[in-house]
Chains A and B, each alone.
Chain A
Amino acid sequence: QQQVKQSPQSLIVQKGGISIINCAYENTAFDYFPWYQQFPGKGPALLIAIRPDVSEKKEGRFTISFNKSAKQFSLHIMDSQPGDSATYFCAASKANSGYALNFGKGTSLLVTP
């Protein structure tokens, strides 16, 4: 059972554009929502994370928007660059499971020059 649903599956954005990836969850016990970036042949790397007590978090060109009532969160990549081309995973976890991450299926992002 997929606990975190992610869309779109793939995304093509022109250099300088905004990339937007969306995720939805059902389990209201989740209290930590990270995004990971993964390049081919590499392990996932933490990009940015948010807790449900804030609605937005920004780090450089990356912003998480969080809507607790809708149980949705999204990643916005501003001024997308070809080097951002990678697979992005949203995830959710909760304290009483050791914060073990439940991942979405991933979004393959291609930023064209």
Chain B
Amino acid sequence: DTGVSQDPRHKITKRGQNVTFRCDPISEHNRLYWYRQTLGQGPEFLTYFQNEAQLEKSRLLSDRFSAERPKGSFSTLEIQRTEQGDSAMYLCASSPRSWENTIYFGEGSWLTVV
């Protein structure tokens, strides 16, 4: 197991620009989750996929956010027209098989919007 991999690890962008993060889950994990974490807070759920289907989205996931998992393997999270409030760590996680619920997190992608 190589673990959940996220790229890039750090991103600084100007307000109004679009950014995209990529997540490669642990091999054969069919569930994939995105979370957002700000300093001093716990991770907040954004969305999750079972295979390629996006099954749940949080109210935190505004229209500027879109997530995809086109082939049920890697996933992307795109933020359009970034705002300073989007500055956070974006965490990807995965879990194996649909009846198991052990969730493994990646190292996160730090976003700073200036």
Taking residues whose C-beta sits less than 8 angstroms from the other chain, chain A's interface range is 20 to 34
- Which B residues contact A (CB, under 8 angstroms)? 4, 31, 33, 35, 40-45, 48, 50, 55-56, 91, 93, 95, 101-108
**B103 touching A106, Cβ below 8 Å:** no
The answer to whether A42 touches B107, judged by C-beta atoms less than 8 angstroms apart, is: yes
Interface stretch (choices A43-51, A53-61, A62-70): A43-51
Tell me if B's interface is mostly helix, strand, loop or mixed: strand
Contact B45 A102 (CB under 8 A): yes
Please determine whether A43 and B45 come into contact, CB atoms closer than 8 angstroms. Answer: no
User: What residue in chain A is nearest B4 (Cβ atoms)?
Assistant: A43
Verify A43–B105 contact, CB threshold 8 A.
yes
Contacts A34-B103, A93-B101, A100-B45 aside, 13 further interface pairs with beta carbons under 8 A come to A34-B102, A43-B93, A43-B106, A43-B107, A43-B108, A46-B103, A98-B48, A98-B56, A99-B103, A100-B48, A101-B45, A101-B103, A103-B42
